[in-house]
Structure 1
Amino acid sequence: MPAESSSDDSQRVVVATWRAESARLVGGLTRMTRDLELAEDLAQDALVAALEQWPTSGVPDNPAAWLMSVAKRRGIDHFRRADTLRRKTAELGHARAGEEAEMPDFDSQVDSIEDDVLRLIFLSCHPALTAESRAALTLRLVGGLTTAEIARGFMVSESSMGQRISRAKKTLSTAGVELELPTGSERAQRLDDVMAVIYLIFNEGYTATAGEDWMRPALAEEAVRLAGMLVDLAPGDVEVLGLRALLEIQASRMDARVDERGQAVLLEEQDRSRWDQTLISHGLEALEQAERLARRGTPVGRYFLQASIAAEHARAGHAEDTNWRRIAGLYDVLAGAAPGPVVEVNRAVAHGRAFGPDAGLAVLSALDEGALDGSPLLPSVRGDLLARAGLHPQAAEAFTDAAARTRNEGERAVLQRRATENLTFGSTPG
């Protein structure tokens, strides 16, 4: 039993180390080999070696350095078999041509290690890839998740996800994309893409698109971790800080979003004592850093504004304490900074709470009915505003429409319940 326990402990350390260090490992190897697929294979070989050796030999003092050392040795073996040892040894080991291959010290060999991670994030979010492929590749290369874990998160088969990731790598290879940081306007655009992918991953975890589960916490938690990593790599960017603040504050509610039976609980019905105060504190701290930069004239955008809105909810001890007028004003600004139908629907919610349901319905009336075709968001918000206006039959009809549109079973149950309540004139606030 003690041996099994020790083996289990070692495996947990391997998994934790891989999750924390895989991006640095793959990034460094990609920079040295100039081959993303080979770099990932070498990193995976090192992971397998750790799983085999650490339970018996013990966890090394510097696990990350151990993994890199093993990966580079496997790389030299690969190039030796390919009969290109001399050229590639120089790239891997900084050795002069004609010298014996010698494994250099990890610290002296892999400098600019955080730059390697940043390069890897930008590589995963290259514009040649679709949004779905960017998310999958980011989770694989930067998050260190297995193909099976990513497939479960996005409710697709492991083989389908494997093919998606493989196609993404081939797309990058065919396009001749290298592990280099973009500059100028391209970098700004790509940073937006990086943040959009992290936000997409979080949203899929916070409210799953389909399936029986209301949420997929592992995806949301991974997005929070990636946002924190991005702040470490770009600490002076207002929007990066805003993204981190937004995700941490939103994630603080996750335990309260389901009841003891696993049923979904809407924001205004949540037990706020179950909100994670540590995440809220970290989120508000990141937002304060962003606010200091904004006061110096740095432009703000969608993530900063959404974080400011989330902060208003976090600061309200009870639902009735929420400063909806402030939130409505922030949504008005957001509508100008990042216009779109989703923002307008949420703006309608805020105006409905701040100034009465008719004000919210007026915002919705300006929206094109086909703007969110197939999404339950528009009819669900319309149903809520109609219920608050006392128009219960119309509200029931809207909630029934929304329930028919969603592919998430947890969300469907909430919408059907609200439709039933309004049919019996027993609407409850949501």
Structure 2
Amino acid sequence: MTPDLRALVPQVLGVLVRRGLDFATAEDAVQDALVEALRTWPDDPPRDPRAWLVTVAWRRFLDAQRSETARRRREEAVDVEPGEVPGTDDSLWLYFLCAHPSLSSSSAVALTLRAVGGLTTRQIASAFLVPEATMAQRISRAKRTIAGARLDTPGDVGTVLRVLYLVFTEGHSGDVDLAAEAVRLTRQLHAAIDHPEVAGLLALMLLHAARRPARFAADGSLVPLAAQDRSLWDTVLITEGVAVLQWALSRDRLGEYQAQAAIAALHADAPSTAETDWVQVVEWYDELVALTDNPVARLNRAVAVGEADGPRAGLAALAPLDPALPRYAAVAAHLHEADGDRARAAELYAEAARVSTNTAERDHLARQAARLRI
């Protein structure tokens, strides 16, 4: 599906739901209309693609009704011709619906990609490395779960942003670049809603995406931040990310995504790890911890403290944290190595490699352990 066609999906879906269709029925009708569009548009493109999709989807819905009486009532209740389609964009409401609190994180992500992103079930399944039938069942269950939910009350922006961030962190697999898709969807949300945390998340995504070309070597191995070739970073994305962040911070309504983006901006601005303004990084982590009290934020803060005030200060900041935290052993290994304790660092790198669930990260940690044992 072309990006232009995909961008119309949430708008058309929103119109049908506004007309009274439940989410699952509306989504099925839109998918039927998209199939027809792919078949006919190359030879006979419509003057108003959005109105065309609404009309065809609505007719597909009407054709699916078995009762002629029910059909007549619906046609009489909403008799809208292509030129009369309301101009409002319901994409924003769909974000909130797909991030419904009754859905699991995985279901919310899948439904967002399908309904708002316009991806096919096959594409979503490929991205998550699961069979298409499994993903189809997941999406169907999600649609049934929210079948009775209405688009008549504001949703929780924080939940929507968490879903989008989950999409971003899935990265790339199969034929769908989920990180790029998350940036596209967040741009769309930023254009629809005046909210500094939406801008903060967009800035964070852009700044992280800017570093992607340098994150992996030619052989697929992970390249840590300190060893990355910063000339490979995308300066256009960095410039845009910083500008979006500055706008968000100017609203004086600090949130966790803005704080994370500020940290990413400091890394992006530094010529090297050694030249990073680590004191300011620690200050932003202090803000982030105050906002969220997130143990992962405290873990990352320990790394920054180690850079700003020395490895023993970093170890002291690490000491109160739960060793069962993801990446705890890796952070401890880094700080012990910086403090000169190579033997303990090697043990911790090996331990971190054993518990890592990411292949590239596991291989990197194992190499670190082997390097220190030579």
**More displaced stretch, 279-288 vs 66-75:** 66-75
Measure the CA separation in 1 of the matches of 2:56 and 2:22. 17
Q: Assess if the C-alpha contact under 8 Å between 2:9 and 2:115 holds in 1.
A: yes
Measure the CA separation in 2 of the matches of 1:78 and 1:417. 59
Deviation (angstroms), 1:85? 2.1
- For 1:162, which of 120, 136, 140 is the aligned residue? 136
Q: Assess if the C-alpha contact under 8 Å between 2:126 and 2:176 holds in 1.
A: no
2:334 maps to a residue whose letter is: D
CA pair 400-92 structure 1, distance change in 2 beyond 3 A: farther
Measure the CA separation in 2 of the matches of 1:119 and 1:19. 17
2:178 maps to a residue whose letter is: L
Equivalent position of 2:91 in the other structure: 117
- 5+ residue gaps, structure 1: 1-13, 94-102, 207-212, 425-430
Measure the CA separation in 2 of the matches of 1:82 and 1:327. 66
- For 2:48, which of 62, 73, 86 is the aligned residue? 62
Measure the CA separation in 2 of the matches of 1:43 and 1:73. 10
2:215 counterpart of 1:261: no
Equivalent position of 2:184 in the other structure: 225
2:54 maps to a residue whose letter is: M
Q: Assess if the C-alpha contact under 8 Å between 2:245 and 2:261 holds in 1.
A: yes
- For 1:329, which of 283, 287, 291 is the aligned residue? 283
Measure the CA separation in 1 of the matches of 2:142 and 2:245. 34
Measure the CA separation in 1 of the matches of 2:222 and 2:67. 56
Q: Assess if the C-alpha contact under 8 Å between 1:153 and 1:219 holds in 2.
A: yes
Q: TM-score when scaled to structure 2?
A: 0.94
CA pair 43-88 structure 1, distance change in 2 beyond 3 A: same
2:25 counterpart of 1:38: yes
2:271 counterpart of 1:285: no
Measure the CA separation in 2 of the matches of 1:284 and 1:54. 40
Equivalent position of 1:421 in the other structure: 371
Deviation (angstroms), 1:15? 2.3
Equivalent position of 1:5 in the other structure: none
Deviation (angstroms), 1:389? 1.0
Measure the CA separation in 1 of the matches of 2:78 and 2:274. 61
Deviation (angstroms), 1:154? 2.2
Counterparts in 2 of 1:137-156, with a 5 A limit? 137-156=111-130
Equivalent position of 1:239 in the other structure: 197
Q: Deviations over 1:212-250 (max 9, x none)?
A: x7x997111111112111111212x11111111111111
Deviation (angstroms), 1:79? 4.0
Measure the CA separation in 2 of the matches of 1:191 and 1:20. 21
Counterparts in 2 of 1:206-225, with a 5 A limit? 218-225=177-184
Deviation (angstroms), 1:71? 1.6
Deviation (angstroms), 1:391? 0.9
2:289 counterpart of 1:302: no
- For 2:310, which of 351, 356, 360 is the aligned residue? 356
Equivalent position of 1:98 in the other structure: none
Deviation (angstroms), 1:312? 0.5
Q: Deviations over 1:135-158 (max 9, x none)?
A: 111111111112222222223222
Measure the CA separation in 1 of the matches of 2:175 and 2:210. 14
1:395 alignment partner, SS class: helix
Deviation (angstroms), 1:82? 5.2
Measure the CA separation in 2 of the matches of 1:406 and 1:217. 25
Measure the CA separation in 1 of the matches of 2:337 and 2:151. 53
Equivalent position of 1:202 in the other structure: 168
2:177 maps to a residue whose letter is: A
Measure the CA separation in 1 of the matches of 2:120 and 2:236. 28
- 5+ residue gaps, structure 2: none
Deviation (angstroms), 1:111? 3.1
State percent identity of aligned pairs.
41
Aligned-pair RMSD on alpha carbons? 2.0
CA pair 385-66 structure 1, distance change in 2 beyond 3 A: same
Equivalent position of 1:105 in the other structure: 82
Equivalent position of 2:105 in the other structure: 131
Q: TM-score when scaled to structure 1?
A: 0.82
- For 1:384, which of 334, 339, 356 is the aligned residue? 334
- For 1:48, which of 35, 44, 51 is the aligned residue? 35
Q: Assess if the C-alpha contact under 8 Å between 2:123 and 2:175 holds in 1.
A: no
- For 1:411, which of 345, 355, 361 is the aligned residue? 361
1:320 alignment partner, SS class: coil
Measure the CA separation in 2 of the matches of 1:104 and 1:60. 14
CA pair 131-91 structure 1, distance change in 2 beyond 3 A: farther
